[in-house]
Structure 1
Amino acid sequence: LKEHGGVSKSGTIVLSITTEDGRVWKAKTFADCSYEGDLMAQAGVHYTVGREGMEVYHEDLAGVRVDTPKHQFLWKISPLDEKGKLMPEVDPSPMGENGAGDKKVQAYNFRMILTDSPDNKLPWTKPEGYDASNFALLAKYLGEWKQHIHREPTFRDVMNPVMIPNHEADFNNNGAFSSDYIGKSWTYPDAGYAERQKIWDDHLLYTKSFLWFLASDPRVPKQLQAEVNSWGRAKDEFLDTDGWPNQLYIREGRRMVGMYVMKQADLQTDRTKPDSIAMGSYNSDSHNIQRVAMPDGGVRNEGDVQVSVKPYEIAFGTILPKKEETANLLVPVCLSASHVAYSSVRMEPQYMMLGQAAGVTAAMAVQGKTAVQEIDVKALQKRLREQKAILHIDQEESGE
């Protein structure tokens, strides 16, 4: 989308969008299926960024999470170096009061595809701009590991590999200091294109540097270093970006405030919806949001939420802007949900299901010459069921 002036509207109707290459795209109905939600924002749809406080939607998982045991430092460790200076990758700001809202965003990272096949792996190389001092806290943490855990650290202690075919694995964040670039995603949602590119590039340099540190730094325990060097980027993955992923993992950005705001209760107690258009079941999962120096002299990660849920239904209103704002736009990715609810619904399978519902809704709105908010929900659900969508818990449990 053109960064400024990319949306042409008449009243509540989006008439066309203009892309950066100057092309103009006219349509009767639009769907913003992006991670960033720029079309939604330029169309004048109300949205939010960051975390609501506990009081906003009466969510006990909302806001700052003082007690975050997962992906946490496993013992008290000082964030200060030998000169008493705060180490890099630690925020000097206070954590905030438990349950308080803020505008901070959970960590992004790059999901790596690595291989341990000698014929298919690329060796780790020192990236341009590498600064080993950025990993002083990690070096200190790994150096104290055996003393506290009574074994050497392994690759699984600093990343989470999930095996896939052909001697490859999807490596994600794991532990206190990993591939999540904590605290560096906060401005991304509302940033301009140039700033977003810089944030993206900084995340890529961090990822390359993190892996090079593990593979080469003499402070890394030898057993862990040997294990890291037994893996490498797969030659047959991401061919156009030298084996590095071509998509930054935007876990959360803008969130629409639409016809229905999905909340913690919708995952836990109010799990059925008469206007359901899809279902979710992934646990509430927000990654850490900040890493802070504590008054007690230690360092803590904050923001992680991991709470299991049962299957729940997703209301049609979560992908609909308010009609008085825009009548021919659907938003199935930056959907209308609190930070807590988004932590579960933010998974690609749900985006696919909601995207399917958005596509059918768009077609019905065009055919019926009506606002997307006014289509017949029962008729929409009938079409989705014909396409094998699972919309209700009783339907899921019965296997129908």
Structure 2
Amino acid sequence: MRKIIVLLCLLMTGKLFAQNIREVDICIYGGTSAGVIAGYTAKKMNKSVLIIEPGTRLGGLTSGGLGYTDIGNKYAITGISRDFYRRIGKHYGRFEQWIFEPGVAERTFQQYIKEGGVEVLYQQHITGAKKTGNRITEIQTGSTIIRAKMFIDCSYEGDLMAKAGISYTVGREDNAQYGETYNGVQLREKHQFPDGIDPYKEPGQPASGLLWGISPEQVEKQGAGNKKIQAYNFRICLTNQPDNLIPITQPEDYNPARYELLLRVVQKLQPKHLSGMLKIDLMPNHKTDINNNGPFSTDMIGMNYNYPEADYATREKITKDHELYNKGLLYFIGHDPRMPEHLRKEMLQWGYPKDEYPASGNWSPQMYVREARRMVGAYVMTQANCESREVVKDGIGMAAYTMDSHNCQRIVENGMVKNEGDVQIGGFGPYPIAYRSIIPKPEDCSNVFVPVCMSASHIAYGSIRMEPVFMVLAQSAAVAASIAIDSHQSVQDVDVSKLQALLRQKPLATDATPEILVDNDDATHVIMKGDWQKETKGAYGPTMFISNSAGSIRYTPEVTRTGTYKVYTYVPKRSDLPSSTHIRLSADGKTTQQVSYTPASIKVEGQTSGEWVDLGTIKLTKGGKAFVEITNEGKDGEVVADAVLFYPQ
């Protein structure tokens, strides 16, 4: 009788229903840009796949406002990730494009889902994970149980990783932990308040209390580790096209006191344009990707510390607070009478675009979670990897961006308000990311990959944590998961050389003819005549050649498949290019055709660095002696010889 009563109670409370049990080869948690590419790749590897997305929209930050893509060096972006930017380019009538509208990105991700036949479950949060030994057997999301042979955590927060009991860390390591110099507390000059900005509500009166957003804590010594998280914001899409514009109105819970510090900065620096407080990058069709800029901007410094390990309700509240802070900032700049009139007028030109994010009130549903949990995996990427003082042999992707951290706290230093935590250290070329950094330690788990919250120190993660790189690592994870399934192996036992070969041979995870890239650093396929000097800034790959005297550079592709190829050469953004650069193309090594390009033919408005210039189409024969030769003939500027690409048609 007691059992019957319990069963009746469970039925009445809705707690006894047949749970939906799904079984697949690979379960992916997080429909971010990485999650979509992982799902598409796994399907192309003939695996059954299920993507679990906590929200309602695919693509994460790439479709959520970050359209002015952070890259570092396009050479580092390979495979399906690079294909994504080629598809974006096709939409805009270009070969590839790295600057794009949010809606275009979302529709492109949906293309991959449709083409791959990938199933997505939306609005599903992970609530638990079961393990047998060191192997995940299933995860739970409300009323659904997903059983899989392999799991890939593509969330920004690392929730699957955490539920599975995999080692991770949050915050900044002490510099001493990994022998670094840019980790931990960093009080630097970038995005910093000028000297003399008073932190108190009543200037010069500590008893009046600190202005909003300033921490009363004493800053630790330089390089000291702590659990503080670099600031989040939203990458804001606005428009100045009148027929597509929704005016910026006062948001709920608006409090102008939050922006008092901005007034003091404006009074001190007297900026002439909004660029003094907003990084406004222009997008196609009169839209923007707005990011943080300066001492007081869209970063809500110090208000995200609880986010990485918070429950979903708390995260939702933190996200909403960031949204209202950002909306309030835009409204304050445009409407507060204390703001200079020229800045108010400039701000009032902008509004929310009617055709972006219609399902979420024309505001991005994806907060910029720059960093949350980070796995402590089989290998930890550090500053030494970024600077190529330590080079891994098991690379399955590359990074090239500056070691970048946004500010972590706003404090009082010597009676003045200061930001702490911003680091931007670059000057290095592309470097490999270890396979071991996307897998756990063997004792933690044997069947999960973590390509987003991967294993890296805080400062190394700052270089790696770019959306195109996440997509590259996700593709590598999906291919590795497929190998592990086929070979009945743990993720730790995957043959990395086999994985690397597959990524090279099938960059799109299909049997399509791969493109042929010949970079100027490839000594085997590049023949140089004359005096050329190497330069790194703006290059595709580690370096490019710049001419100093008469000569030429010949690129010879290794053709493995006969076919028709379109030929491109990479040209960086430079103001000193010659009026015409002369090039010879040969399909057979004997007969040649002459082509040239001019600076006017290089359309860089859709790029964040250089551009691929179309040289024409040629027929290549397997094992043939084709070449492209860049010459200094008739030069009246600096001739550039960088990468040459043969793209199959």
1:99 equivalent in alignment to 2:201: no
Distance 1:94 1:272 in 2: 38
Letter of the 2:410 counterpart: R
Larger CA deviation: 171-180 vs 152-161: 152-161
Deviation at 1:89, TM superposition (A): 1.0
Q: Which residue of 2 aligns with 1:12?
A: 134
Residue 410 (structure 2) pairs with residue 288 (structure 1): no
- How far the C-alpha of 1:257 sits from its partner, in A, is 0.3
After superposition, what is the alpha-carbon deviation per residue over 1:275-326, rounded to whole angstroms, capped at 9, x for unaligned? 11001111111101101011x2101001001011321111100101011110
> 1:399 offset after TM fit, Å?
6.6
Q: Distance in 1 between matches of 2:394 and 2:201?
A: 56
2:446 paired with 1:324: no
Name which of structure 1's ranges 228-237 and 248-257 shifts more when overlaid on structure 2.
228-237
Q: 1:108 to 1:362 in 2, by over 3 A?
A: same
Shift of 1:234: 1.2
| Within-5 A mapping of 1:7-156 | 7-20=129-142, 22-66=143-187, 68-82=188-202, 84-146=208-270, 152-156=271-275
Contact 2:479-2:499 at 8 Å conserved across structures: yes
Partner residue, 1:350: 469
Contact 1:313–1:393 (CA<8 Å) still a contact in 2? Answer: no
Name which of 365, 370, 389 aligns with 1:246.
365
- The 3-state SS of whatever aligns with 1:144 is helix
Structure 2: distance between partners of 1:240 and 1:205: 17
Q: Secondary structure at the match of 2:201?
A: coil
Alignment partners' CA distance in 2, 1:124 and 1:324: 52
Preserved CA contact (<8 Å) 1:153 1:221: no
Provide the secondary structure at the position in 2 that maps to 1:81.
Answer: strand
> 1:238 Cα deviation (Å)?
1.1
Partner of 1:225: 344
- Are 1:196 and 2:315 counterparts? yes
Q: Which has the higher strand share?
A: 2
Q: 1:158 to 1:115 in 2, by over 3 A?
A: same
| Contact 2:397/2:432, CA 8 A, preserved across alignment | yes
CA distance in 2, matches of 1:70, 1:387: 42
DSSP 3-state at the match of 1:16:
strand
Matched, 1:265 2:384: yes
Q: What amino acid maps onto 1:25 in structure 2?
A: I
Aligned mates of 2:365, 2:444 — CA distance in 1? 34
Q: Deviations over 1:161-186 (max 9, x none)?
A: 11111111111110100000000111
- Contact 2:388/2:431 (CA < 8 Å) preserved in 1? no
What letter matches 2:189 in structure 1? Answer: P
- Structure 1 residue 272, shift from structure 2 partner: 3.0
Alignment partner, residue 149 of structure 1: none
Flag the 1:393–1:247 CA change in 2: closer, same or farther, 3 A.
farther
**1:9 & 1:232 partners in 2: Cα distance?**
49
Q: Residue 322 of structure 2 aligns to a residue in which SS?
A: helix
Partner of 1:387: 506
Deviates more, 1:301-310 or 1:326-335: 301-310
The letter of the residue matching 2:419 is N
CA distance in 2, matches of 1:394, 1:252: 34
TM-score under structure 1 normalisation?
0.94
Distance 1:380 1:35, change over 3 A: same
CA gap of 1:4–1:363, structure 2 versus 1, over 3 A, is closer
* Change over 3 Å in CA distance of 1:335–1:135 after alignment to 2: same
Deviations 1:144-198 (A, max 9, x none): 333xxxxx44211111111111111111110100000000111111111111111
Contact conserved, 2:480 with 2:499, CA < 8 A, in 1? yes
Bigger CA drift: 76-85 or 352-361?
A: 76-85
Structure number with greater CO (CA < 8 Å, separation at least 6) is: 1
Q: Output the amino acid matched with 2:448.
A: L
Following superposition, the deviation at residue 387 of structure 1 comes to 2.7
1:51/1:103 contact within 8 Å kept: yes
Going from structure 1 to structure 2, the CA distance change for 1:231 and 1:313 (only over 3 Å counts) comes to same
- Checking the alignment, whether the CA contact within 8 Å between 1:271 and 1:311 is kept in structure 2 is no
Stretches of structure 2 that go unaligned for 5 or more consecutive residues are 1-53, 55-123, 509-516, 523-540, 543-642
Paired AA for residue 88 in structure 1: W
Measured on the aligned residues, the alpha-carbon RMSD in Å equals 1.9
Structure 1 residue corresponding to 2:491, chosen from 360, 372, 387 = 372
Aligned-partner Cα distance in 2 for 1:74–1:80: 16
Matching residue of 2:425: 307
- In structure 1, how many angstroms separate the alpha carbons of the residues matched to 2:353 and 2:312? 30
Q: Is the 8 A contact 1:271 1:312 kept in 2?
A: no
The C-alpha deviation readout for 1:2-25, integer Å capped at 9, x for no partner, is 8785101111111111113x1111
Q: C-alpha distance in 2, partners of 1:99/1:89?
A: 23
8 Å Cα contact 1:3-1:192 kept in structure 2? no
Deviation digits for residues 71-90 of structure 1 (CA, Å, limit 9, x no counterpart):
11133211112254211111
Task: Choose 1 or 2 for highest CA Rg.
Answer: 2
CA contact (8 A) 2:411 2:419 kept: yes
Partners of 2:388 and 2:453 lie apart in 1 by 23
- Give, in whole Å, the separation in 2 of the partners of 1:282 and 1:387: 25
Deviation at 1:269, TM superposition (A): 2.9
**Where do residues 273-284 of structure 1 align in structure 2 (5 Å cutoff)?**
273-284=392-403
User: 2 CA distance for matches of 1:143 and 1:216?
Assistant: 17
Corresponding residue for residue 278 of structure 2? 159
How far did residue 361 of structure 1 move?
A: 0.6
C-alpha distance 287-171 of structure 1, shift in aligned 2 (>3 A):
same
TM-score (norm 2): 0.58
Q: CA–CA distance in 1 between the matches of 2:470 and 2:261?
A: 36
In structure 2, C-alpha distance between the alignment counterparts of 1:334 and 1:393, rounded to whole Å: 34
2 CA distance for matches of 1:3 and 1:233? 29
| Aligned-pair CA distance for 1:118 | 1.2
Q: What residue identity is the alignment partner of 1:185?
A: N
CA distance in 1, matches of 2:362, 2:217: 36
